[in-house]
Structure 1
Amino acid sequence: MRIKKSYRPNVAAVILSSNYPNKCEFFIAQRSDIKGAWQFPQGGIDEDETPLSALYRELKEEIGTDEIEIIAECPTWIKYDFPSTLSKKLYPFDGQRQKYFLVRLKNDSSINIQTDIPEFDEYQFVGYDELFERVTHFKKQVYKQVIDYFKKEGYL
């Protein structure tokens, strides 16, 4: 018998600096609770939210600004499993089911990761190659899938 996995509905932002389209720089941030874990901003979608409204809320909560321009939305939801090393007490789901948006910051200086409940303690804008050197291992395949989609569609 196969056990059905549970996936948390989630939204994620592939954020480009305000230099886009002249320069393609990706925003990544280091989690404050897991040193060395770099990722895109993301978060759960509340029951009464659309993915788009969750995107704006999560950006405001995590990077202190929702001043963005939406460039594109990945049409499919992408799932990934949490590593078995993550505690089920902390994460009651097997993984996440994510809706990705490609966005451009209107003003890079509006970022403020010192929010009410800081999720990140450092951030950087990086190029494509450095992005995949830095992000946490279990998200690399998902990030590649999403960025390849945006590239194929001509956004990157």
Structure 2
Amino acid sequence: MIPFDQLPYRPCVGVVLVNRDGLVFLGQRVGGAEHVDALHSWQMPQGGIDEGESPEEAALRELYEETNVSSVEPLAVASDWFAYDLPEPIAREAWKGRYRGQKQKWVALRFTGEEAEIDVRHPGGGHHKPEFTGWRWERLERTPALIIPFKRPVYDRVVAEFLPLVAKAG
């Protein structure tokens, strides 16, 4: 077995979806409250980058697959990749133990649609399994306190990188 600290990171994207009021989308993970308390079961949309897909393309696809949202305009892409390790017992189960965690390229998008477009119960036009049980708009700077603890350093970096942009985007 490969030592945990030598496993690679799974390439992913994270999406900072900003509304007209300068708030960001948070979804409550399906089963999230079963693993941590309900307060820390929130996150922004994220997911794997498919072969041959750019981070920007993956961000649009993942956002649609998780929220049904397609009415967006690009704002920015993070200057770097942000990585986090899963706790080792979870990492050994997830993705068949091939990865120690995820490295994410974060993409900020402005939501240009109406809230009725957001549908976490029937995402991707009803063609994808729901990943969220609910959703809400939140101030970006509050998101690290609402995230599962092992992801907080990434969310701290997302806040540092995108807060000036989000403040202007509203």
Given that 2:91 and 2:100 are in contact with CA atoms closer than 8 Å, whether structure 1 keeps it comes out as no
Q: Which residue of 2 aligns with 1:52?
A: 56
Q: Which of 99, 106, 118 is 1:111 aligned to? A: 118
Unaligned runs of 5+ residues in structure 1 are: none
- How far apart are the structure 1 equivalents of 2:150 and 2:161? 19
Q: Percent identity?
A: 31
Q: Which of 97, 121, 143 is 1:131 aligned to? A: 143
1:79, CA displacement in angstroms?
A: 1.1
Q: How many residues align?
A: 149
- Which range moves more in the overlay, 104-113 or 56-65? 104-113
Q: Which runs of 4+ in 1 moved over 4 A?
A: none
1:48, CA displacement in angstroms?
A: 2.2
1:101 aligns with 2:107: yes
Unaligned runs of 5+ residues in structure 2 are: none
1:31 aligns with 2:29: yes
Say if 1:113 and 1:48 are closer, same or farther in 2 by CA, change over 3 A.
Answer: same
Q: Which residue of 1 aligns with 2:93?
A: 89
1:108, CA displacement in angstroms?
A: 4.2
Say if 1:77 and 1:128 are closer, same or farther in 2 by CA, change over 3 A.
Answer: closer
- How far apart are the structure 1 equivalents of 2:85 and 2:107? 20
Q: Which residue of 2 aligns with 1:62?
A: 66
Flag the structure with higher helix content.
2
- How far apart are the structure 2 equivalents of 1:42 and 1:99? 10
1:101, CA displacement in angstroms?
A: 0.8
1:128, CA displacement in angstroms?
A: 3.7
- How far apart are the structure 1 equivalents of 2:49 and 2:104? 9
Given that 2:9 and 2:102 are in contact with CA atoms closer than 8 Å, whether structure 1 keeps it comes out as yes
- Which range moves more in the overlay, 96-105 or 3-12? 3-12
- Which range moves more in the overlay, 6-15 or 88-97? 88-97
Q: Which residue of 2 aligns with 1:6?
A: 8
Say if 1:108 and 1:125 are closer, same or farther in 2 by CA, change over 3 A.
Answer: farther
TM-score (norm 1): 0.86
TM-score (norm 2): 0.80
